[in-house]
Structure 1
Amino acid sequence: MSAVLISVAELQELLDTAGSRVRLLDVRWLLGDPDGPQHYLDGHIPGAVFVDLETELADPPSAAKGRHPLPDLAHLQKCARSWGVSDGDTVVAYDANGGMAAARAWWLLRWGGVADVRILDGGLPAWEKAGGKIVSGEEPDPEPGTVVLTPGHMPTVDADGAGGWQGLLLDARAGERYRGEVEPIDPRAGHIPGAVSAPTAENLTDTGHFKPIEELRARFAGLGSGPVAVYCGSGVTAAHQIAALATVGIDATLYPGSWSQWSNDPKRPAATGTEPA
């Protein structure tokens, strides 16, 4: 598969041949489900460490920065070392929701300069369906890693840049939130004027695998042209959109603050309906 994704079969082969240099990250997280740690204890891939998206993959939320601001680099490096990550390791992140949370770990580690980070295509359900071993309970603490992170290896844009984006700005949230029909989390409904609706869920098949490359290529080609930037509610599922774009060779920019930051600033306009403007 692409350098973004790894299949269950490829992961099993990698673990069999280079297991000591593979770091498995269990990033189970869903909005409204605080029980990721318990899900991990109930069953995970052997050797995986649990990664807490709220505290390890994000700084504390604020109106000024959004619900999941990018974490401080020193904090991210400390966490990555606690997961056992060293320079030269292959890191594989997974969840149980089509990679929606795992992609946040993928994006952040790539942003920090880790060269080989993959998302397990199909996640834990695909692993289990293929007969992969599952263990429960705590894992021994991994040997601390020595990875050195440096920022800026993946592009970002701030609110001003997103508002004036010259190219294709994709809104990765569900269509009803883009249209402004509902807004269950953030202060205002709608979307950034000029943004095109591109729900992240449409990157996936019914089994939670990424769609074939040709289908994804056709999907993104039909949305518009020019340099691509992506936002969502808080910068989490937008990383999944960027991963899907990367599988077809399109480099995209993340607006980390996303709608949770934009909608908290009353000076910034909000559009509603099906049209970008």
Structure 2
Amino acid sequence: MKMLYTADQTRYQRMTNEELKQAFVINDLFQAGELALTYTDVDRAVVGSAVPTSNPLTLPTHKELAAEYFCERREVGIINIGGNGLVTVDGTSYKMENKDSLYVARGSRDVTFESKDSKQPAKFYFVSYPAHRVTETVHIPKTKANAISLGTQAECNTRTIYQSICPGVVDSCQLVMGITELAEGNIWNTKPPHTHKRRTEVYMYFDISEDNRVFHFMGKPEETRSVVLKAGQAIASPSWSIHSGAGSSNYSFIWAMGGENQQFDDMDHLTFADIG
């Protein structure tokens, strides 16, 4: 398991592009036949992926967790962005089609990932936060997520938000997670930007071609920086940082939050006049 130590509110202002990526970006996700894990100091989130091919992959524990098994004191949100697959939790198997979600509750001992077709493997992306209570493991097909349409074509931010792990859909401990899809011809997400000091967030961008990029904006509102990301990269967003982005084409991203409050609209909104 890799470690990601983020920069503080002062140091990030003097960092080069490469230093910003080293401090905030997770870039080793979605390797065929491998399971990857990164432990961040952003609310102790663990970010990972599993791309099973010929053999299943099992979620391991590590010394850094000081736990007998991964979910001993943790909850996990999983979203599949690849071909059809299967996630098995303590003997119960859940079919995971493209953009389906699975909430894995604290106390789940064994979690394994499989692909239905090794030539078109599933691509499981997951985020885990510490959990202080035991709930239930729940499968959420994309069709069962809360779908919210926002934005306008005139402002290039027409998008649909699919809230799959959130109050009213899943009784999670602190994890809130889902997908945002931008319509064709739209490039802005989280417009206008915001912060929420009561929780942190991790973004993972996908559904964008190899020759396109997303310009992710971060930092304090009055002192922003941009990080250029390609498909399959994730970025950790501390509670003091804005998180917004513009792409060279439309794209999708998975957002995952953990902290004091699970209400999706608990945000401190900003205007572009606030952005420096």
TM-score by length of 1: 0.28
TM-score by length of 2: 0.28
Q: Which has the higher helix share?
A: 1
More contact order relative to length (CA 8 Å, sep ≥ 6): 1
Q: Which has the higher strand share?
A: 2
